[in-house]
């Protein structure tokens, strides 16, 4: 009897340890990756390289904020990558063709993102169309509109006010990174410490239970998509500033890295669980991995293979997490 109790206790302990590692894997892997790269390349831990990692990850990090809210409800938004390009082209076109003030261009970028968010959210929440199909459609629409408006051309020589956030520094750090930090603080508070954040997690945990408790499920889902679209508009502003120009390919394909970072950070693909701090860890982990592949001189094609494997691993780990939670 005592031996059986010892075995059961050992299994329970191993299960708790595995759960702990799976839920906090992004932090562990981030630390391990930094340690390994510090040994393999002496340039990795230099201030300039770490700043480069942060800047390279910044736009993905902004998109991941909105993605966290959407995935927490059990849905997904694969339109965010191309939405960056659409928001950017709409704002920059006003400046290029109509000499609109920079602040009007920025406002239009945010409004375009929010409008697409309304469309996505309404179709998913009120028409019960699968989020993958809805956002795949808007992804295609956004991609087509970018090429239609820009004719596939790049636009440079933008007004300084549009790119100032990437050119300016505060305490020696790019103002763009400070802007991203402020966004993370605000969204961390929104998801973790507000009634709305609790509603988002409740809807993802169980729509029926959330509806029974008086939560307006459809409205909550709609708002998460509006957040995702608005954040994509902000990302469009920041990406335009960072590149100092508009490019027709801007943001294309970024959505998969965003989803991977969000899931690696502990947000469950089935909804009901997620955190902004975890998402940040996932974003930084992917940023470090991308930087490591470049520093180690890995072939560009193999880098895509590596990113694909990372996304697959993230999905597998999430499936294991879900299975463990069900067995608990």
Stretch 129-145: mean pLDDT: 96
Nearest CA to 278 among 56, 11, 55, 61? 61
Burial of 12 (0-12, 13-18, 19+ CB in 10 A): exposed
Contact (CB, 8 A) for 61 and 184:
yes
| Statement: residue 177 has pLDDT above 60 | yes
Map residue 154 onto helix, strand or coil: coil
Strand partners, 246: 155
pLDDT tens digit sequence for 235-259: 999 999 999 999 999 988 899 899 9
Stretch 72-87: mean pLDDT: 96
Stretch 2-9: mean pLDDT: 54
pTM, whole model, 2 decimals? 0.90
pLDDT bin (cut points 50, 70, 90) of residue 217 is: very high
| Statement: residue 6 has pLDDT above 60 | no
pLDDT bin (cut points 50, 70, 90) of residue 160 is: confident
How many angstroms separate the CA atoms of 180 and 172, rounded? Answer: 15
Looking at 3-12, 46-55, 146-155, 180-189, which range is the least confident one? 3-12
Contact (CB, 8 A) for 184 and 276:
yes
Which domains does the chain possess? 28-318 (1.10.3470)
Burial of 323 (0-12, 13-18, 19+ CB in 10 A): exposed
| Statement: residue 159 has pLDDT above 90 | no
- Position 322 scores a pLDDT of 72
pLDDT bin (cut points 50, 70, 90) of residue 103 is: very high
Angle at 153 (CA atoms; ends 148, 155), nearest 5 degrees: 115
Map residue 155 onto helix, strand or coil: strand
Nearest CA to 187 among 108, 279, 257? 279
Query: For the chain, what is the mean pLDDT?
Result: 89
DSSP per-residue codes, 270-316: TSS---HHHHHHHHHHHHHHHHHHHHTT--HHHHHHHHHHHHHHHHH
pLDDT tens digit sequence for 22-63: 667 778 888 888 999 999 888 888 999 999 999 999 999 999
User: In angstroms, what CA-CA distances link 237 with 92, 111, 178, 214?
Assistant: 10, 12, 14, 37
Nearest CA to 75 among 204, 231, 227? 204
- Position 4 scores a pLDDT of 47
């Amino acid at each position: 009897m005592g031996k059986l109790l010892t075995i059961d206790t050992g299994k329970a302990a191993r299960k708790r340890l595995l759960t702990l590692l799976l839920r906090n894997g992004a932090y562990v892997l981030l630390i391990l990756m930094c340690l390994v790269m510090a040994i393999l390349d002496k340039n990795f831990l230099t201030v300039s390289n770490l700043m480069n990692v942060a800047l390279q990850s910044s736009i993905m990090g902004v998109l991941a904020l909105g993605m966290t809210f959407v995935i927490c409800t059990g849905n997904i938004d694969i339109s965010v990558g191309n939405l960056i390009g659409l928001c950017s082209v709409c704002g920059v076109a006003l400046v290029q063709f109509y000499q609109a003030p920079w602040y009007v261009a920025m406002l239009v970028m945010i409004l375009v993102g929010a409008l697409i968010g309304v469309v996505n959210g309404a179709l998913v929440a009120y028409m019960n169309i699968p989020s993958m199909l809805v956002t795949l459609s808007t992804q295609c629409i956004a991609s087509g509109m970018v090429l239609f408006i820009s004719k596939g051309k790049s636009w440079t020589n933008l007004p300084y006010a549009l790119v100032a956030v990437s050119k300016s520094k505060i305490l020696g750090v790019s103002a763009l990174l400070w802007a991203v930090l402020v966004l993370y603080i605000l969204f961390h508070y929104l998801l973790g410490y507000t009634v709305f954040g609790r509603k988002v997690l409740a809807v993802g945990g169980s729509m029926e239970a959330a509806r029974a408790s008086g939560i307006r499920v459809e409205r909550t889902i709609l708002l998460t998509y509006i957040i995702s679209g608005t954040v994509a508009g902000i990302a469009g502003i920041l990406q335009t500033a960072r590149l100092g120009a508009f490019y027709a390919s801007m943001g294309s394909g970024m959505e998969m890295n965003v989803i991977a970072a969000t899931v690696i950070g502990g947000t469950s693909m089935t909804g009901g669980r997620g955190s902004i701090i975890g998402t940040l860890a996932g974003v930084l982990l992917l940023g470090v991995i991308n930087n490591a592949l470049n520093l180690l001189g890995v072939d560009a094609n193999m880098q895509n293979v590596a990113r694909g494997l990372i996304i697959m691993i993230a999905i597998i780990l999430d499936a294991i997490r879900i299975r463990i939670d069900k067995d608990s």
